[in-house]
Amino acid sequence: MSLADKVLAVNDDLPIRTNVPVHSGKVRSVYWLTAEDSARLIKEKGYDVAADAPLAIMVISDRISAFDCIWRGEGGMNGVPGKGAALNAISNHWFKLFKENGLADSHILDIPHPFVWIVQKARPVMIEAICRQYITGSMWRAYEKGEREFCGINLVDGLTKDQKLPELLITPSTKGILTGIPGVPEVDDVNITRADIENSYQAFNFTKQDDIPRYEELLKQGFNLISGELEKVGQVFVDTKFEFGYVTDGSGQEKLIYMDEVGTPDSSRIWDESQYSAGNIVENSKEGFRQLLLNHFPDPDILLNKDRMDERFALARDNELPESVLMDVSKTYIDIAERVTGQKIVLSDNPKAEIIEVLRNEYQLVD
């Protein structure tokens, strides 16, 4: 069996019983279950959700996206071996620790397979909640050009690239295109201030204004917990993105939860601590892949300039990356997952067949 066969690149074609189209994102596909199957599973498995809550099967893939494009390799390798299993394993680990430490629940109700989550429908807060402990990336590029104000926070002069910030910064941006919010442009992923959120909290999907400090508290607690655990395995937690939403539990209580994924190499920057102490940056996250792409192509501006999206999509479509590049990424993801979880990441020979089997036999979701 070739390496390409072990990659789960297409994840929206599974025979899971659903009566609505499968939603396929850059990495995950979501299969909304029928009302009957949702109600049956809630009863059979004892999930702590409302009896009529809509449930979904979320299947991760091994696809890799960067700069808003999906990238592929030579020899039909349309993803990164082990990436999906590594991402899920890391998220599962942090979500479990969050719950054990009394932070908040997540949207995940069950984990039938390393590639699969059973999730409850949540009402998302329309904010990409970003925490930064070091000045690097886009923030450093803006700072170097003279910007000192970020999301309503003023930074002091004299900071140097990649240095630790005086305090943990929350620099939120919009999730999706939001309309009618004073002072907030109607574009996706635009920086916003705490005042913007307070003044228009309902437009960002908060139930009440009091939930804003709660979301900030969960951000900081989540960041600090992950940071402390990564420190134990010689890693620096640089920055990350969290997402939040609301769900209703079995007793009818609405609660704010963590959503999507947390503390993964896709949603965070993670540096090797011993190298950082020696003055070097060694990325143990997708940032290393982004840097590689910027160095790989002769005109990196295509990847950075949003006015050149057509050229960017063509670049990703028409170029197969060397297999060695994807295997380097695979090693990064698997290594960090094994360090974080203390468990071996085992590459499945046929993940799709395994998923179908478990969902058919244990959940009765495949006809």
pLDDT at 291: 92
Band (1; pLDDT cuts 50, 70, 90): low
Average pLDDT over all residues of the chain: 94
**Per-residue pLDDT tens over the stretch 220-271:** 999 999 999 999 999 999 999 999 999 999 999 999 999 999 999 999 999 9
> Does any domain span residue 41?
yes
Structure tokens at 14: 């599974």
Q: Are residues 214 and 136 in the same domain?
A: yes
Q: Are residues 220 and 105 in the same domain?
A: no
d(CA 186, CA 172) in angstroms, rounded, equals 15
Distance CA 67, CA 69 (A): 6
Rounded CA separation 238/217 (Å): 18
Position 194 in a domain: yes
Residues 113 and 232 in one domain: no
pLDDT confidence of residue 64: 96
Cβ 38 vs Cβ 53: under 8 Å: yes
Q: What percent of the chain has pLDDT over 70?
A: 100
Q: Is residue 367 part of a domain?
A: no
The separation between the first and the last C-alpha atoms of the chain, rounded to the nearest angstrom, is 28
pLDDT tops 80 at residue 3: no
Domain end call among 256, 277, 298: 277
How many domains does the chain divide into? 2
Residue 5 has pLDDT above 80, yes or no: no
Provide, rounded to the nearest whole percent, the portion of the chain with pLDDT above 90: 90
pLDDT at position 349, please? 86
Per mean pLDDT, which range of 105-109, 127-131, 186-190, 293-297 is the poorest?
186-190
Global pTM reads 0.94
Given a cut of 90, whether residue 182 has pLDDT beyond it is no
212 alpha-carbon distance from chain centroid:
21
- Of the residues 277, 310, 328, the one at which a domain ends: 277
Q: Are residues 17 and 96 in the same domain?
A: yes
We report the CATH number of the domain holding residue 76 as 3.30.200.20
Average pLDDT, integer, range 132-139: 94
Q: Say if residue 108 is in the same domain as residue 182.
A: no
Distance, CA of 23 to CA of 20 (rounded, Å):
9
Residue 131 and residue 110 share a domain: no
For residues 202 and 208, the answer to whether their CB atoms sit within 8 Å is no
Indicate the residue among 230, 245, 277 that finishes a domain: 277
pLDDT for 190? 87
pLDDT in tens, 18-52: 999 999 999 999 999 999 999 999 999 999 999 99
Instruction: Give yes or no: residues 137 and 229 share one domain.
Output: yes
| Confidence band, pLDDT 50/70/90 cuts, at residue 186 | confident
Kindly tell me if the per-residue pLDDT of 71 is higher than 80.
yes
Q: What is the domain-level CATH number for residue 222?
A: 3.30.470.20
**Do residue 154 and residue 197 come from a single domain?**
yes
Residue ranges making up the domain that contains 21:
3-122+340-361
